Amino acid sequence: MPGSPVRRMADAAWDALVAHAPHVRDRTLKELFATEPDRARMHVEAAGWYLDYAKQRVSTETKRLLLALVEARDLRGRIDAMFRGEHINVTEDRAVLHVALRMPKGTQLVVDGVDVVAEVHRVLDRMSTFASAVRDGSHVGHTGRRIRNVVNIGIGGSDLGPAMAYDALHSYSRRDMRFRFVSNVDGADLIDALEGLDAAETLFIVSSKTFTTLETLSNARAARAWLLAALGGDEAAIAKHFVAVSTNAEKVAEFGIDTANMFEFWDWVGGRYSMWSAIGLSVMLAVGPDNFRDLLAGAHAMDEHFRTAPLDANIPVIMGLLCCWYRDFLDAQTQAVVPYANALVKLPSYLQQLEMESNGKSVRTDGSPVDVPTGEIVWGTVGTNGQHAYFQLLHQGTTLVPIDFIGFDRPQPDRELGDQQDLLVANLFAQAEGLAFGTDDPSLPPYRVMPGNRPSSTLMASQLTPFALGALVAAYEHKVMTLGTIWGIDSFDQWGVELGKKLAQKIAAEIAAADDSDLAHDPSTNALIRRYRRRSS
Ligand code: F6P
């Protein structure tokens, strides 16, 4: 366990923040607003998003010191290195080029002798052709019936991005098609997803960067058996009903999907940064190639903002600095994300993988142990639902939880119901205000007092369009990189999940084995395995 790290990073920029923190820790947002009347200027606007961070517990001096920290860490140099395609994912010796996935056609980025943008657009064009053929009915199933159901099988980055984006952009999607997302190795997930589907009208997208992931392969095998059973066992049906998205052509072929039906991506795309690649095929099928390209355009607009805007007026940089401030200097462990848009219901789960798999690290890129807290715990649900669940703790509890509120000026097309949009946004603004300033009535009994001083940012865009979604997700990606740079960690590997995968495979074999006499785990695990073997057979 990382335990209680020593809060030092042994450099002047960090030490200045350590010395400064006690001066802000005891000041309330009310006091900060009273002494810094120009706090309303604490906002930035870019790529269609407006970030208001005036209700954060930072003074002008805090901001100056945080910016000095990120300059001392050479964030600008690291951003440039990423955009040049340098191998900044050092533990895997890979470039980190999800930004190339949204570069416009005609841009050139040569990495290791290959123009990666040309490659990206070659695959995007193939995806568009395929998606259009399915959508217009020219690609039909094995029996000649039109494809009306699309089931994406993947997990982690091969599931959360498309599933989140599909929900977010449902308003733009085909209503005569059904889209389902299967991830869990729990058979209930696939069984529920297949409920009511006609195999003759169903397309499976098996999405896996490595094509070795246990859950995905196991679900894909079960889906294959379901399809063949329904279509009379003719193996030729696979070609019409299964496509693969992967970097691993060999494993795709080994599984039995013709690589002509594979949409590729590259090892310089991390799993949790891959929704912009062919991993987004299900989203493209739902919203169409033009809307998918708008999603990419929004992300690219945020990329350009991150790459070129001054650090003190840079949305992802400010988001990252605020997170570092709370995590490292004010002892916050978590960060809530509360979108006031039902379509963003899966955004908190998506961000959990993005932020926690990226920055949940305790070793620096040079191999030395991290000696400050890293990686905040991300959680949240949509507003207003959260207000009637956990907001009580946010208002009156004893834990500091910085919040990102997310809202829109207008509802999505076809999502307007009377004055409900105004009520939704009124609630967002009310919560941010109430949390920051609390109650102001000295006659209230203690249990009715809201102390306030609970910080939040508010992110607003005009509407939840594909462009706005792309820009929002890219902002969080770059926030993650900003933090990784400050902490000196590799935000692009995920070695921590490997141990669990290996152990699960070993235990699965032990559960299936003829006898359990040679189990060599700890006594607790041995007993659990034996008990399960007895009771499950
Ligand atoms: O959980 C670890 C992980 O490697 C994630 O980073 C990744 O998104 C997920 O598994 C799925 O991996 P794959 O796309 O290779 O099946």
Residues serving a catalytic function are: 357, 388, 501
Any atom of ligand 1 within 6 Å of the Cβ of 244? no
Cα(97) to centroid(ligand 1), Å: 17
Contact call for residues 46 and 57 (beta carbons, < 8 A): no
- Give residue 9's pLDDT: 57
Task: Please state the length of the chain.
Answer: 537
Three-state secondary structure of 7-47:
CCCCCHHHHHHHHHHHHHHCCCHHHHHHHCHHHHHCEEEEC
In contact, 399 and 331? CB cutoff 8 Å:
no
pLDDT at site 320: 98
Among the listed residues 57, 49, 159, 36, the one whose alpha carbon sits nearest the alpha carbon of residue 479: 49
Probe target for ligand 1 pocket from 159, 208, 213, with the most ligand atoms within 8 Å of CB = 213
Q: Which atom of ligand 1 has the smallest separation from the CA of 271?
A: 8
Contact 530, 519 (CB under 8 A): yes
The residue to mutate among 206, 245, 352, 497, having the most atoms of ligand 1 within 8 angstroms of its beta carbon, is 497
Which ranges of 195-245 would DSSP assign to H, the alpha helix? 214-230, 237-241
Q: In the prediction, which pLDDT does 112 show? A: 86
Looking at ligand 1, which residue's alpha carbon is closest to its atom 8? Answer: 157
Predicted local confidence at residue 40, as pLDDT: 83
**Residue 410 φ then ψ, to 5°:** -135, 150
pLDDT at 7: 44
Given this model, what pLDDT does residue 10 score? Answer: 65
**Three-state secondary structure call for residue 114:** strand
Q: Beta strand 377-379 with 242-246: parallel, antiparallel or unpaired? A: unpaired
155 Cβ closer than 6 Å to some ligand 1 atom: yes
pLDDT for 290: 98
**In the prediction, which pLDDT does 119 show?**
97
Task: Give me the pLDDT at residue 1, please.
Answer: 44
For residue 277 and ligand 1, the question of a CB distance below 6 A is answered with: no
Per-residue pLDDT of the chain (537 residues; tens, 9 = 90+): 444 444 455 689 999 999 999 999 989 999 999 999 889 899 999 999 999 999 999 999 999 999 999 999 999 999 999 999 999 999 999 999 999 999 999 999 999 899 999 999 999 999 999 999 999 999 999 999 999 999 999 999 999 999 999 999 999 999 999 999 999 999 999 999 999 999 999 999 999 999 999 999 999 999 999 999 999 999 999 999 999 999 999 999 999 999 999 999 999 999 999 999 999 999 999 999 999 999 999 999 999 999 999 999 999 999 999 999 999 999 999 999 999 999 999 999 999 999 999 999 999 999 999 999 999 999 999 999 999 999 999 999 999 999 999 999 999 998 888 889 999 999 999 999 999 999 989 999 999 999 999 999 999 999 999 999 999 999 999 999 999 999 999 999 999 998 998 999 999 999 999 998 899 999 999 999 999 999 997
158 CB near ligand 1 (under 6 Å)? yes
Nearest atom in ligand 1 to the alpha carbon of residue 213 is 16
State whether residue 184 is helix, strand or coil.
coil
pTM reported for the whole predicted model: 0.96
Task: Give dist(CA 11, CA 23) in Å, integer.
Answer: 20
